[in-house]
Structure 1
């Protein structure tokens, strides 16, 4: 699942490529992807893109005051091309959920127009990728309910400590809760907790001031490094860049790069978490919770 760093990378890339381009055609291929009806998505055709931004895990494309926003969910991705086919796609078939076509003026009169294309794709049978056309991004419930951005200067240690001090939630789930903190998902919560040497099952309000500071600093260092790695890369490079930076997430059975212990996994109904017993749980092996409702 794309999380804050990858979405930041995608947003920066699209901002560079699309600012000043004209959105010439939209094809909605998946019946389920479009979540809004007013305004109709057709109003975007012919509009010039004035900017691209990220909020949480959402990418928001500003088409002159009307906004196209999308959330890639668990299995979605973005494919960018400078050689679009212009083919008419059959609705309800294949892994492409939506196709966007753009034209952009060349750097000089002799260059002519450049043609650009974006496919929003989704693997698997569970379709969760979502696309919205709105007059204001806060009309989207998932954006309106977002918590603070973890790397925002206004989200300081005191604000973070205040959130943790009243929560009886396990810290892994709290970090992933988009209404509490925006943009962190399953992978980076594993990495942040490993860097902070905190159990994923620790109760948030049980953490003392020293642990809270270490966790806050780890959140900044892990996310900051990942954003720096992601920004400047094309979409087809971001997944490999993410995998290459992971210390525990997705590395079950491999040695912990810090202490050498074996990275362990706890499985749930639709996902898993990874952790190092020596670094995070005092050597304790956490019970498998495959049938648990935790983190749903």
Structure 2
């Protein structure tokens, strides 16, 4: 569920709420989620939060030099419980399995996973980039400094479908299944065309769509309660998850992207026709 806009909203909330607050208790419910077995969550007890940063779709909590990295994967997310004397924010629906709890002196951070297989990863490390999945991240897709020149370099010579390339975290961090569909719809580009085949004009359109889509989403998710982030994201989608519905621009039918088994959507009438010569294996 979380991509850069939702992860940024969560990081902003935790930054405001947890700065200076210490961990009093930890609970690891699903042991497979902790990837640093030699460094248990117990290391966090007694340490106070000094910084919260986002790295692509990952959140890093710096607790006096010991870092807790939260990698949510496709189905992970977070919950927050206020202290009993303060009215609590609604929790996620019970379909999300609890993975871990980190109890602070001012509330409880929960980590959940609603998928059929475990996608959440927790790491206890000395630095954010000690986590392999963070260390290999490319430039951040939501960074206003990400330029057209950087995008042109990223697509140059790449015989990879655009949708797959946008989701490749080593190339561009923070974009997942949903926003890749939205960006390509805004750019009026086929999700299965090869990145290497893009013209200068198409690169410019893709960069503008990427910048505008991610900027707007970050602003829109700001201040939305954690428990409402998923619903807010779903409501904002113009084509993703809307197969069978009319296109919001042309009125044509939104369809599943060929080869994605329903995992991605597009408007064939608005986006460039699929050329057989441009096909590549999805992913």
Please give the TM-score of this superposition, normalised by the length of structure 1: 0.86
Q: Which moved more, 1:149-158 or 1:17-26?
A: 149-158
Residue of structure 2 in register with 1:46 after alignment: 46
RMSD, matched Cα: 2.0
Residue of structure 1 in register with 2:207 after alignment: 216
CA distance in 1, matches of 2:260, 2:210: 26
Asked if the contact 2:161/2:282 (under 8 Å) is kept, the reply is: no
1:270–1:257 CA distance, 2 compared to 1 (3 A): closer
CA distance in 1, matches of 2:180, 2:47: 38
Provide structure 1 residue ranges, at least 5 long, that are not aligned to the other structure: 85-93, 104-114
Tell which structure's C-alpha radius of gyration is larger.
1
Residue of structure 2 in register with 1:275 after alignment: 266
Structure 2 SS opposite 1:278:
coil
- Return the match for 1:152 from 127, 143, 146: 143
CA distance in 1, matches of 2:135, 2:263: 28
1:176-255 superposed matches below 5 A? 176-255=167-246
1:1-296 superposed matches below 5 A? 1-83=1-83, 95-103=97-105, 115-266=106-257, 272-282=263-273, 294-295=282-283
Structure 2 SS opposite 1:26:
strand
Shift of 1:269: 7.0
Aligned length: 270
Asked if the contact 1:55/1:143 (under 8 Å) is kept, the reply is: yes
Shift of 1:270: 7.0
Structure 2 SS opposite 1:96:
strand
Please give the TM-score of this superposition, normalised by the length of structure 2: 0.90
Provide structure 2 residue ranges, at least 5 long, that are not aligned to the other structure: 85-95
Asked if the contact 1:9/1:227 (under 8 Å) is kept, the reply is: yes
Asked if the contact 1:277/1:285 (under 8 Å) is kept, the reply is: no
CA distance in 1, matches of 2:281, 2:35: 27
CA distance in 2, matches of 1:10, 1:56: 12
1:233–1:274 CA distance, 2 compared to 1 (3 A): same
1:63–1:270 CA distance, 2 compared to 1 (3 A): farther
Structure 2 SS opposite 1:47:
coil
Asked if the contact 1:178/1:184 (under 8 Å) is kept, the reply is: yes
CA distance in 2, matches of 1:3, 1:29: 24
Structure 1 SS opposite 2:34:
coil
Structure 1 SS opposite 2:101:
strand
Q: Per-residue displacement from partner, 1:43-64 (whole Å, max 9, x unpaired)?
A: 2101111121100110001101
